[in-house]
Structure 1
Amino acid sequence: MSKLLEVTNLFQRFNLTKSFFDKYKFKSGKIVKEEKIVHAVNGISFYLNQGDVFGLVGESGSGKSTTARTIIRLLEPHSGTIMFDGQDISRLDENALRPIRRHMQMIFQDPYASLNPRYKVIDIVMEPLLFHNKKLTLSEAEKQALELLERVGIRPEQRDRYPHQFSGGQRQRIGIARALAVKPKLIIADEPVSALDVSIQAQILNLLMDLKDEFKLSFLIIAHDLSVVKHISDKIGVMYLGKIVEKANKEDLFSAPLHPYTKLLLSSVPTIDEDPLVEPMEIIGEIPSPINLPKGCYFHERCPFAKEICKFEMPEEKEIKTDHYVLCHLY
């Protein structure tokens, strides 16, 4: 199976020092240079095969959404390589990226903010069709847009309504139709159901899975809810403070988690099983600031199994079993 997306040693940084007075401070009788750098993504690597779903999971602030926006080039990568369909897109300019963008589409977390409130639903779906296919006539684009809207559950008589006239679940369906319009190979879904009612979440996830098979799509799913990634993913990466601390096939990750952070996430999921997979564990403290990263392993301050080496040395990624990688000194 061929690799559609391969990310290697990806870093993303944001400099918060905007002015001269932010950068230089007078301390102890001398001028000192101080820069506030947000270390959002800190050297992550993973790949996604054609037709697969890769789930990226972690707490808020772990860098998942920044990773997604960097991969799709809404943000310029600080360093690292992004290979898409055999082509390095890490440093392509806007003109070179334009023909590639139709093959990489995104579904955003907020289904209202991601839709233009001044556009009718039919126009929202027609816009990418007309932009990426100059030969398409208005009537042809309208026909295709109506077919897509109907496929995701929006009735034809609703075509002339505006986004505010729909529920959150319906708006997310419109966002999915817009993403499908240009027949992409990869869809990046950034928390696609977190803003929706629980009763609607399953409907949207089932719709995505049906569309994946129907349109032969690959997905990168960003989520903080483990039940979401378990339902939809083939492979899962667990992310903490800009690092992927564990990645494995879905079955291996849920049956035999290795990293303490993964175990903590699994133990926090409510269950009615008398014999839970992971013993209940208490999560200590809060996720550290990405401006001042901890020395050594980023998780050592909250880890119940931390050793002395964890405080000073970042562990290397190890393959414990086939395709099951962990970033931890315990192995």
Structure 2
Amino acid sequence: MKRYTLFLVTLSLVLLALAGCGGSAPTETSSSSATSANPPGPQTVKISIGDFDVKSPQATFVTGMKYHFVVNNVGKHHHDFLIMHRMNTETMVMDDVYKKALAFIYNIAPGETKTLDFTFNHTAPAGMLEFSCHYGGHWEAGMYQPIVVNAAQGASVSPYPNGGMPMDDMTASSASGKCDAPVTVMIGADNTFKQSSVSLKVGDTLTINNGTQQSFTLTARPDAGLRFTVVDPGETEHIPFQKAGTFTLSSQEHPNATLAVQVASTPGATCGFTPVATVSFDANYTDPKNQYFFTPKTVTIKEGQSLTLSNLADYNLTFTSKPDADLGDVQLDRNEHQLLLFKKSGTYTISCKEFPTQQITVIVQKGADDDN
């Protein structure tokens, strides 16, 4: 009996020891499970844009959260989608508007859906930011929705600096104070560039002369930040390069015909291609009787200076000058703009073939500075 009792006691002690060892296994499993857990994915926000409004089911956001914006164009017009400071951009070209945005989606066609992934890294009080479309007259017609960005719980985050507008670090003039000689490249009858490479500085403008009977839609690899540019038959286009690096310029129509563009980081400014004025062919969707118009109506520049003509209408348009200012027929697709260089003094009337009653007067005076 004593031996049996001793056996039971010993067996109980062994079982307790095993139970103690086995109890550590759930703790290790729990720890391993916590380590392998994935962080939550981006939060999806579905937004509809129309003629002319922006409708988001969510207008308050938090810093640090990844948002996946799904933007559907339910209207009949093309639209952009921008996250940017509230501002009137009626007299700005779209390239400059995009520079003011924290993020944007370019050219959403009717019925099309595009996406944008974005994380707010600063707070934005009421009145600072909004979802908007600034394409010709759309913002002025009411196409915006204010948003607010709060700090995530427990986070110490400052508001967006500069009122939510990115700082523009580009220099308008060259480092030496002198302008750079223009660089021109011809597209020949064999649909190739007549030079294999060119060298520029940041801020310089490259001139492309199309000597063929075809149109060329220019592209750059890697992305050089170029605006949408179509060089039509017999047309000359001026293309500013605002990024340093080595780029391969080609076209959608002839991707194998390439031009190497080396852009040095030294700031530059091509002579005659720093525009001194901006002219927009704009739209006003709140006034059907005066829907399309030039703004401003008159500009004054000097010989050898240029202005930017921007097409903010929903149509591809052709512009001409009288008397002839050696500009040719300026063909601008929607959302496209072009530098117009005026070499001779005089008073010129620029009109739109599709809307001939709309005109602008350009007064070109003698006596431009040599560096312009």
TM bin, normalised by shorter chain, reads under 0.3
The normalised TM-score by structure 1 is 0.22
The normalised TM-score by structure 2 is 0.20
Q: Which has the higher contact order (CA 8 A, sep 6+)?
A: 1
Of Structure 1 and Structure 2, the greater helix share is in 1
Of Structure 1 and Structure 2, the greater strand share is in 2
Rg comparison, structure with higher value? 2
